[in-house]
A and B are shown apart, each in its own frame.
Chain A
Amino acid sequence: MTNNDTGYIKRTLPKNVGKLGIILFLVGAITGSVGFFLDPARASYSYLNSYLFILSIAVGSLLLVAIEYAANATWSTPFRRMSEFLASSLPLLILLVIPLLLNIQNLFLWSHSEEVAKDHMLQAKSVYLNTPFFSVRVFVILLIWSLFYYLIVKNSRQQDETGDLLMTKKNNKLSIIFIPVFAITVTLQSIDWIMSLESRWFSTMFGVYLFAGITCSALAALTFISVMLKEKGYFHPKITKDHFYSLGTLMFVFICFWGYIAFSQYMLIWYGNLPEETFWFMQRWKGGWKIVSLFIIFGHFLVPFSVLLSHPSKTNFKKLKFISIWILAMHFIDLYWLIMPGMNGNGLNFSFSWMDISFLVATIGIIIYMFNRMFEKYNLIPVKDPKLQRGLDFHL
């Protein structure tokens, strides 16, 4: 089952790409650290926002890899490596989470024992929401994700040399385990990092909501990078517009899914009309936040929906590039909208800080740097994957 004659030639990206990554990271990290000195509370929130952004792309990409293995999909096999590269910042997240855990007091009301003593609701929740358990949970989940990343990617790379069918089978099993594990862990992470910012609020759909956003952003990152590489000629020549059509369709599907989940969450709370749930939306409908909320309805759903609706637009490189960057930006704004209104308890009006940007810049730097490193070391397509030839031959 080996297949060497794929016509793939290994190349490296221009030197500047790696440098660009480092520069972006340094600029962001330095300005961000200054922020931690000037206004640690604000910096913690901005940091959390960008942290969840990179987490979304990393773990979402790992999920895409797992879905491909679990479903035995062939059309996406040529794209799998790119998702693997994008997931490569996953182990780094274990280091990146440390500043957040150090600033836990700046983020979460439930971490202040005097506040918990005052509030019956927080006392009831303190079995789950307490600093030691929280930190352990966060580390364990990140370790589980990194472990799966390590195992799946190791098998995938080993296959580049041996072409062993066993690796595909192993990864298929690993992926089938990973997907339910991901479902549970991502729900816990969404509750831990975002929902517990406003400790009194709860929504049973919240995990799914974050999952929808994560998948959108991972697909958008994959689409953007593959279109760029295809245009610049790094990608395999047999990748046709049919492949990109499928990527576009998948993005379209998950945009619809996001819209469906976002609306369902809103509608249930609106219908139930219970003050302990509605305040969360009310707060995001006040002042400047109202504009952000409206912008998300249009930007995260209606714009990508209408751009991706027609058949030709899913194969149009310009539109694909535009919309994937747009979706990534919208995911960042969505996270902003989820996190920031909880700052300093409730009632803070919409405000913007340069720190929000500096951590984002650092994050993008990390993604670019890691991608470039992986690109140098490994093949861009899994050259000896038994499914590769069928993937390259894919037609609609």
Chain B
Amino acid sequence: MSRSNKLHSVAAIFDNPDKVIFAAEKVRDEGYKKFDVNTPYPIHGMDEAMGLGSSKIGFVTLFFGLFGGAFILLFMWWSLALSYPLFIGGKPFFSLPAFFPITFETAVLFACVSTFIALITVFFKLPFNNHPLHDTDYMKQVSVDKYGIYILLEDEKFDKDKIIELFNSLGASSTELIYQPKEEKYSMFQPKYLIFLVFLAVGTSASTYLMLNKLMYINPFNWMEFQEKLNPQESSLFFADRRSMRTPVNGTVARGFIPYPYKGIANPKEVLSNPTLPTTSFLKLGKKKYLTFCSPCHGNFGEGDSRLNGQFPNGPTFHSDKVRNFKDGMIYHIITNGQNSMSAYDRQISREERWAIVDYIRVLQRAKNAKNSDLEEIKKEPSTND
């Protein structure tokens, strides 16, 4: 490293740890602030001798430890209780005891890694790797078997000769002036460097590709890649007709599917009875589905005032005596099965939603045919806007 003639610090070498502790105490007492000690191993009592307070790094650790713990707890809550709830051992989705170990581990991980990163970046100023002490006789000695102190130029009381005198009086075996290294600049865009980068990029990609796909491609097991099953539309030698897709046994019911007994019957003699309760939230669901699916033809209030302007036969009103006398199950039947020109809605609307629509139609009918006594009823109840 070539040096400029700008001074960086004055350094002194001591032969044993007692001397360097004593020297550090004296340097501190003389009022120097910007100095540091280099020793081959940590020396007990040095913090106090140098007058260092307790390190601030603990706060970094504390903050990131707490942050990591809180983060992972929230993450587990979100992923295991909110976004993708899974039953594990019959425990509640958010079960704290099971999350504790992970919270603890993550808190420790965050604390350690952040402490390390903070140490090398904030405290050791990492990207800066050109410390003037590097490559000096002083550094060579203190990293083997000697103990050293140096006082920086920036110190308010800095005076080269006085410091050397002080060091000598403290029993230094040698002193050394340390100069700033000359600034050396390299251009980013030297052709050599760019070519090197290109080769590096191509080389790494090519070798990684070859390594992973050719040389190291070993399939430890293949029973997930090639499973013993037939995909739809595949042929099979097993059956005489060589089809892999078989017709299900009569009466097979698909998962989650409950067959509707009156499917395809135009005027069923009997219908289902309504299994639901008209709670507020259920009626709200019914209103939503009604406005989506039924209102274009039957009108927002079921009065048969279609918005389709004659492009399709208007749906009749629901306030006719006929519809008012329908059983709940009959309306359900019409939605499920369709009627003449009205098509079936069982594919678009789930069973529960169909019953909700039925309940909502009952509400519309009741509202159209309100009695005076209803007003009394409404007055009694606390008013709700919807």
The reply to whether B89 and A395 form a contact with Cβ atoms under 8 Å apart is: no
Interface centre among B58, B97, B98, B100 (most CB of A within 10 A): B97
- Set of chain A residues within 8 Å of B256, measured between Cβ atoms: none
| Given the contacts A273-B89, A273-B90, A267 and B97 also touching, CB distance less than 8 Å | yes
Give bound CA distance, A394 to B98, whole Å. Answer: 43
Interface string of B324-336 (1 = CB under 8 A from A): 0000000000000
The reply to whether A395 and B90 form a contact with Cβ atoms under 8 Å apart is: no
Q: Is A271 an interface residue (CB 8 A)?
A: yes
- Set of chain A residues within 8 Å of B101, measured between Cβ atoms: 267
Within B17-68, the residues touching A (CB, 8 Å) are 44-45, 47-48, 54, 58, 62
- Set of chain A residues within 8 Å of B48, measured between Cβ atoms: 395-396
The reply to whether B100 and A263 form a contact with Cβ atoms under 8 Å apart is: yes
The reply to whether B58 and A271 form a contact with Cβ atoms under 8 Å apart is: no
Identify the closest chain A residue to B88 (Cβ): A271
Give bound CA distance, A318 to B47, whole Å. Answer: 24
The reply to whether A396 and B47 form a contact with Cβ atoms under 8 Å apart is: yes
The reply to whether B54 and A267 form a contact with Cβ atoms under 8 Å apart is: no
Give bound CA distance, A311 to B48, whole Å. Answer: 14
The reply to whether B98 and A311 form a contact with Cβ atoms under 8 Å apart is: no
The reply to whether A395 and B45 form a contact with Cβ atoms under 8 Å apart is: yes
Identify the closest chain B residue to A272 (Cβ): B89
Give bound CA distance, A396 to B47, whole Å. Answer: 8
Give bound CA distance, A271 to B92, whole Å. Answer: 12
- Set of chain B residues within 8 Å of A267, measured between Cβ atoms: 97-98, 100-101
The reply to whether A311 and B97 form a contact with Cβ atoms under 8 Å apart is: no
Within B78-105, the residues touching A (CB, 8 Å) are 89-91, 97-98, 100-101
Identify the closest chain A residue to B98 (Cβ): A271
- Set of chain B residues within 8 Å of A312, measured between Cβ atoms: 54
Q: Is A266 an interface residue (CB 8 A)?
A: yes
Q: Is A310 an interface residue (CB 8 A)?
A: yes
The reply to whether B45 and A270 form a contact with Cβ atoms under 8 Å apart is: no
Give bound CA distance, A262 to B90, whole Å. Answer: 23
Give bound CA distance, A263 to B100, whole Å. Answer: 9
- Set of chain B residues within 8 Å of A271, measured between Cβ atoms: 89, 91, 97-98
CB distance from B58 to the nearest CB of A (A): 7
The reply to whether B58 and A311 form a contact with Cβ atoms under 8 Å apart is: yes
- Set of chain A residues within 8 Å of B62, measured between Cβ atoms: 309
- Set of chain B residues within 8 Å of A395, measured between Cβ atoms: 44-45, 48
- Set of chain A residues within 8 Å of B100, measured between Cβ atoms: 263, 267
- Set of chain B residues within 8 Å of A396, measured between Cβ atoms: 44-45, 47-48
- Set of chain B residues within 8 Å of A266, measured between Cβ atoms: 97
Interface size class of A (residues with CB under 8 A): 10 to 19
Give bound CA distance, A46 to B98, whole Å. Answer: 35
Identify the closest chain A residue to B59 (Cβ): A310
- Set of chain A residues within 8 Å of B90, measured between Cβ atoms: 273
The reply to whether A394 and B44 form a contact with Cβ atoms under 8 Å apart is: yes
- Set of chain B residues within 8 Å of A263, measured between Cβ atoms: 97, 100
The reply to whether B97 and A270 form a contact with Cβ atoms under 8 Å apart is: yes
- Set of chain B residues within 8 Å of A311, measured between Cβ atoms: 54, 58
Interface string of A365-396 (1 = CB under 8 A from B): 00000000000000000000000000000111
Interface string of B100-119 (1 = CB under 8 A from A): 11000000000000000000
CB distance from A305 to the nearest CB of B (A): 12
The reply to whether B58 and A310 form a contact with Cβ atoms under 8 Å apart is: yes
Interface string of B253-283 (1 = CB under 8 A from A): 0000000000000000000000000000000
Identify the closest chain A residue to B95 (Cβ): A270
Interface string of B276-317 (1 = CB under 8 A from A): 000000000000000000000000000000000000000000
Identify the closest chain A residue to B46 (Cβ): A395
Give bound CA distance, A282 to B58, whole Å. Answer: 39
CB distance from A145 to the nearest CB of B (A): 35
Identify the closest chain B residue to A312 (Cβ): B54
Give bound CA distance, A394 to B44, whole Å. Answer: 8
CB distance from A179 to the nearest CB of B (A): 27
Give bound CA distance, A271 to B101, whole Å. Answer: 13
Identify the closest chain A residue to B55 (Cβ): A311
Give bound CA distance, A311 to B89, whole Å. Answer: 42
CB distance from A370 to the nearest CB of B (A): 35
Identify the closest chain A residue to B62 (Cβ): A309
Within A263-311, the residues touching B (CB, 8 Å) are 263, 266-267, 270-271, 273, 309-311
Within B144-179, the residues touching A (CB, 8 Å) are none
Identify the closest chain B residue to A263 (Cβ): B100
Give bound CA distance, A286 to B47, whole Å. Answer: 52
- Set of chain B residues within 8 Å of A273, measured between Cβ atoms: 89-90
Give bound CA distance, A108 to B58, whole Å. Answer: 50
CB distance from B96 to the nearest CB of A (A): 10
CB distance from A34 to the nearest CB of B (A): 44
Give bound CA distance, A159 to B200, whole Å. Answer: 70
CB distance from A87 to the nearest CB of B (A): 29
- Set of chain A residues within 8 Å of B58, measured between Cβ atoms: 310-311
Give bound CA distance, A267 to B98, whole Å. Answer: 7
Within A306-352, the residues touching B (CB, 8 Å) are 309-312
Give bound CA distance, A125 to B81, whole Å. Answer: 43
Give bound CA distance, A29 to B45, whole Å. Answer: 49
- Set of chain B residues within 8 Å of A270, measured between Cβ atoms: 97
Give bound CA distance, A169 to B91, whole Å. Answer: 55
CB distance from B359 to the nearest CB of A (A): 42
Give bound CA distance, A26 to B5, whole Å. Answer: 83
- Set of chain A residues within 8 Å of B97, measured between Cβ atoms: 263, 266-267, 270-271
Within A36-81, the residues touching B (CB, 8 Å) are none
Give bound CA distance, A395 to B47, whole Å. Answer: 10
CB distance from B352 to the nearest CB of A (A): 34
CB distance from A191 to the nearest CB of B (A): 25
CB distance from B116 to the nearest CB of A (A): 19
- Set of chain A residues within 8 Å of B47, measured between Cβ atoms: 396
Give bound CA distance, A270 to B88, whole Å. Answer: 13
Identify the closest chain B residue to A268 (Cβ): B97
CB distance from A39 to the nearest CB of B (A): 38
5 A-B pairs closest in CB distance: A395-B45, A395-B44, A311-B54, A267-B97, A270-B97
Can you name 16 A-B pairs with beta carbons within 8 Å? A263-B97, A263-B100, A267-B98, A267-B100, A267-B101, A270-B97, A271-B89, A271-B91, A271-B98, A273-B89, A309-B62, A311-B54, A311-B58, A395-B44, A396-B45, A396-B48
A-B contacts besides A267-B98, A311-B58, 19 pairs, CB < 8 Å: A263-B97, A263-B100, A266-B97, A267-B97, A267-B100, A271-B91, A273-B89, A273-B90, A309-B62, A310-B58, A311-B54, A312-B54, A394-B44, A395-B45, A395-B48, A396-B44, A396-B45, A396-B47, A396-B48
